[in-house]
Structure 1
């Protein structure tokens, strides 16, 4: 008997009808000012990388165990020296770093994640004189790491939907908590949270109860943050503000249920999840989810502010129409790539279960829409050791694969599959990513765009982030 591995996806919609179709088929640490970093000496030309920016505001949320490291991974396209400025009201984070070539890894104080429910002062502002790409990294040690792709400040908005979920598996008696973080870019920013719950919500660390149907309003100053955690499921909660804000959601700790030889197992896994959410103004309509190496499943939520909406799914030759209230969870076959289309813009977030060396791990990642692909990416792995495997999953039109270049060489995928979407064949390619400095992936034509997901898996842990989302 063959074993089917499942995956799922998380989708938030601001409209009614949703169609989902499945087709088978060197690390260097910056410790002060004026530190020089090295990387690959590759100069892409005629590039289209609107996923980069010159200003970012991020924050980091806490987890159960002591955080071992908090970092920013900063990459750029050019060869000129670039100044990267780090600003934060949190003690020990204000510094100016100096970057050469492609990649910088900036260490932040580990205690920056030590938050309590309510207002804090731990937002981090990253600025540069040239466009950069920023990834946030939190690690509890070699067996638990999470990354997120930072969104440029000029792409942030004033309306967001929460796309995380509560996990019912317990880890040594501990309940898994949803975490929500909000960072302000300006003084006098008023924020209102419209909770999606139909019963009271208990905010854990502050011992505060929010009644069902209650809106929560507060004000933030420049680089202030607001944080709360709860054991209640608040997926679909809406956040509105009077000025642009950065919003982060995730899980404080993850326990995973997985199938093995027709039996269900609950893992006692010390994992975490975190993503920066895009604003509703950047939602899009068409997506392709690539195949991911070592994936053992993906959990999904489909969310809409419309109280009643339809979901159309096609997976493993089964066509289903769902009529749901506010939220739906979908599960898809692991062996099938997936395309998603809707008349209304969507937010797509996937929670990925990985199976490697007989151990299960987890990460979350936002999937870029087809309209949010770029022409060139500069990427770096979190570490430069060989204790885990790193991969790229690329989504590109089949006719354009021949012009794809990885560090200036034709690509050599370890796996590939076809996706037929709108009478156009796309390919999902899995490339191995070596943990040495930085890597470029581009196309010989500046008119060709493609999507990239970066991820890695080790002995009981994993990470993942989109290589760029052009919002």
Structure 2
């Protein structure tokens, strides 16, 4: 390599600019150099992330802000081994914003990442606002969509290996209709030239027209529209007067789908608070046929939505209330309310969402959050999660076969009876038990000494906010 006004001076050290990234070592080769890359990286300058047991996650931030602010969204990552991650965004994203997000990091336990407010998307626009996470080992990824202390929600992020090309949307009805009360869904593409067909289901008890305007075209119930998306692009559909539950999404390549509602409020008594609801949706091939639905800590009203493909027979049982009920569910949606636990089985795979309306202890303020219920066949043996520190109270609900309750361990310790706020039987013949356990902020690992699979959900409250999600990544 040469330098100087007339390019007549040889640079003795071509590695002086540290051209090799991600810990790579620069080796001089004549007038040039090569990079000896660290494990999990390759390429001329060690910029290619290529972990041997790599997993990927795709994240998008929905429409959670009523008015624009600078509050970030948060990602909580956990692992139980040394893991390298790479976070990337689209080259079409504003360079200033991109520089705040793109990074490579190594961690052994937990990692908290801020995502700038500019990633929040708009409706009916294709935007290059998705975030991709690659990891060398399985990790748990939880998204808190806006850290504003008033209205946010959370979701576990589903790994790419479980994403697919077929989804059904579930949103929740809201208790009032204003310009700020919006139900909708968002799609994030992982690959170039992804073709998507969306068949709309439009429901409202107030609006008999049941139509939606998408970029100047009016669509009705069962109408289909098509879009084409590229890697890192997002697209959101929303309505302030329609429930979109039952809308189907079919794509030529796997995509990630999120849904929920903005400015939802409780139908329960007390002072309502406008609250965001959000969950990433499982693909239809990840649905289940057996569910145990547990109430919230204060057992307030829960609104449920069941989604099905084709006519489905559903059996419901409440151990607490002592009743059985059979339902023939047509394709699409079924709405129900609950205050106690429910055990639900079906003859075909279904998806169940819960809109939970509750509060912190001794407060009259009602907050809502949304979860997608974890099926019994989706229970796993170990959960490693971060309990956030911005909430007054945090809880995990553990659902496990009754004969294995004594095997539960949190951070390697036997459950302290003072941590258990409620414990109930949760299935016919008391086969399952669920426990609501209060936990402190920080990293927690929940497992059993017998390696018995169990279900886990997490939720929490502050004075004017709530969050909740179910499930986690599997750690070998």
The verdict on a shared fold, with TM-score over 0.5 as the criterion, is: yes
What residue in structure 1 maps to residue 60 of structure 2? Answer: 59
Matched, 1:396 2:400: yes
TM-score with structure 2 setting the length:
0.79
SS of match in other structure, 2:297: coil
* Change in 2 beyond 3 A, CA 1:136/1:352: same
| Cα separation, 2, equivalents of 1:98 and 1:469 | 19
Taking the TM superposition and a 5 Å limit, the aligned residue runs for 1:313-462 are: 313-315=316-318, 316-322=321-327, 325=330, 326-332=332-338, 334=339, 336-356=340-360, 357-382=363-388, 384-385=389-390, 387-412=391-416, 413-419=419-425, 421=427, 423=429, 425-436=431-442, 438-446=443-451, 448-462=452-466
**Contact 2:401/2:431, CA 8 A, preserved across alignment:** yes
Q: CA deviation at 1:247?
A: 0.5
What residue in structure 1 maps to residue 278 of structure 2? Answer: 274
Q: CA deviation at 1:365?
A: 0.9
| Cα separation, 1, equivalents of 2:176 and 2:328 | 27
Structure 1, 246-255 or 90-99: larger mean CA deviation: 90-99
* Change in 2 beyond 3 A, CA 1:65/1:113: same
**Contact 2:308/2:349, CA 8 A, preserved across alignment:** no
What is the aligned residue count? 404
Taking the TM superposition and a 5 Å limit, the aligned residue runs for 1:212-361 are: 212-231=221-240, 232-259=242-269, 267-306=271-310, 309-315=312-318, 316-322=321-327, 325=330, 326-332=332-338, 334=339, 336-356=340-360, 357-361=363-367
| Cα separation, 2, equivalents of 1:428 and 1:97 | 39
* Change in 2 beyond 3 A, CA 1:378/1:319: closer
**Contact 2:317/2:427, CA 8 A, preserved across alignment:** no
* Change in 2 beyond 3 A, CA 1:268/1:258: closer
Structure 1, 63-72 or 390-399: larger mean CA deviation: 63-72
Q: CA deviation at 1:432?
A: 1.5
User: Aligned-pair RMSD on alpha carbons?
Assistant: 2.5
* Change in 2 beyond 3 A, CA 1:139/1:214: same
SS of match in other structure, 2:359: strand
| Cα separation, 2, equivalents of 1:77 and 1:140 | 26
Unmatched segments (≥5 aa) in structure 2: 1-21, 24-52, 204-208
C-alpha deviations, 1:142-177, integer Å up to 9, x for none? 12221111100011011111111231424xx54511
Which of the numbers 108, 114, 118 marks the counterpart of 2:125?
118
What residue in structure 1 maps to residue 4 of structure 2? Answer: none
Unmatched segments (≥5 aa) in structure 1: 1-32, 35-51, 260-264
Which of the numbers 176, 184, 195 marks the counterpart of 1:179?
184
**Of Structure 1 and Structure 2, which has the larger fraction of its residues in strand?**
1
**Contact 2:312/2:347, CA 8 A, preserved across alignment:** no
SS of match in other structure, 2:309: strand
SS of match in other structure, 1:256: coil
| Cα separation, 2, equivalents of 1:220 and 1:281 | 22
TM-score with structure 1 setting the length:
0.80
Taking the TM superposition and a 5 Å limit, the aligned residue runs for 1:8-157 are: 54-63=55-64, 64-67=66-69, 68-78=71-81, 80=82, 82-89=83-90, 90-91=93-94, 92-93=97-98, 94-139=101-146, 141-157=148-164
**Contact 2:163/2:255, CA 8 A, preserved across alignment:** yes
Q: CA deviation at 1:319?
A: 4.6
